[in-house]
Structure 1
Amino acid sequence: MKKFYRRILREKALQILYAYELNGEGLTDLVEGLTSDVKSKADREFTAKLVNNVIANRELLDNKIKERVNNWEMERIALIDRILLRIGISELLFAPDIPPKVSINEVIEIAKDYSTSNSSKFINGILDAILSELKNSGKLNKTGRGLIEESLPTKSKREAK
């Protein structure tokens, strides 16, 4: 099955963030090295922006995760899963042009390839809860057709127009 190209870019972001987590340095070299085969400047920028959003907002992202994993220490969550959760939450919060369901689905599919057999369910549960929280609090910042779930106007609303 052919992977969507953005999934490949997210996988590269995962690899960059994983290496950065282990080394704690050399972010620019990691981004440039792991995206050197990406032809499009826009695609390289997508990956770099995703990586930078995760790193710049790590504390906020980790706090969102901690709110959902009561009685668990962050260190007990597999590193790959933590990074994938950060990527998913980052897209929910800081990528207004990406539909929430796409962000969640992409992270789940990557988890199936890179993590344990139960990781995709764990990640899905946390991201779904965070998405619900963002919707309920009015903090979901998505724009454009198809990016947020909209109900069709009822007949009475259409007639009033």
Structure 2
Amino acid sequence: MIKRRQVRETVLKAIYAYQLSKDSSQHIVDTLIKKQEFTKDKELRRFAEKLFFRTLEHEEELDEVIVDHIKNWDIKRLALIDRLILKMAICELLYFEEIPTKVSINEAIEISKRYSTAKSGRFINGILDAALTDLSESGRINKKGRGLIQKSLGS
């Protein structure tokens, strides 16, 4: 069974390829996302494409949220993988009203453990917890359905 984590990992690789290659976003989708086994499932394919395009579409806004929470640190000094994982997770927090906030945060932490450094999971958790608090307080988190609004993994 293909899980959404595999889809998120594919999207991370696609955004990474887009950042480094500067190929068109559609070319990246056609070569990296649409060739995956999970694309036989329409829902998973739509989720992958939506996460990829929304993350790119809102890149400046997502960077601003990250910058607001990395005290005394230049965003360009962040590991690229960590930055992309943060962008994807914040994109989910803001633009995927059906995904619980704790799921987005947990998935980001788990993906960082696989694709980044040993310390990345704690770093990403801290940034996302702080971002979620601020975004919630400013009314920017709009989740629908039961159990979809949770402050953090600890709540």
Structure 2 length as normaliser, TM-score? 0.90
Please report the RMSD computed on the Cα atoms of aligned residues, expressed in angstroms: 1.6
* In 2: Cα distance, 1:41 partner to 1:28 partner: 18
Residues 17-76 of structure 1 show CA distances to partners (whole Å, capped at 9, x for unaligned) of: 000000112321221222222211221111010011110000000000001112211111
Corresponding residue number in structure 2 for 1:31: 29
2:10 is matched with 12
**Is 1:114 aligned with 2:112?**
no
Where structure 2 has 5 or more consecutive residues not aligned to the other structure, the ranges are: none
Q: In structure 1, what is the Cα distance between the partners aligned to 2:100 and 2:119?
A: 24
Q: Distance in 1 between matches of 2:121 and 2:59?
A: 21
State how many pairs are aligned: 148
Q: Which deviations, in whole Å up to 9, do the C-alpha atoms of 1:79-109 show, x marking residues without a partner? A: 0000000001000000000000000000100
Ranges in structure 1 where 5+ consecutive residues have no aligned partner: 151-161
TM alignment of 1:11-160, pairs within 5 A: 11-35=9-33, 36=35, 37-38=37-38, 39-149=40-150
Aligned to 1:157: none
Cα distance in 2, alignment partners of residues 19 and 142 from structure 1: 30
Instruction: Return the TM-score normalized by structure 1.
Output: 0.87
1:133 Cα deviation from its structure 2 partner: 0.9
Deviation at 1:134, TM superposition (A): 1.8
CA distance in 2, matches of 1:9, 1:24: 21
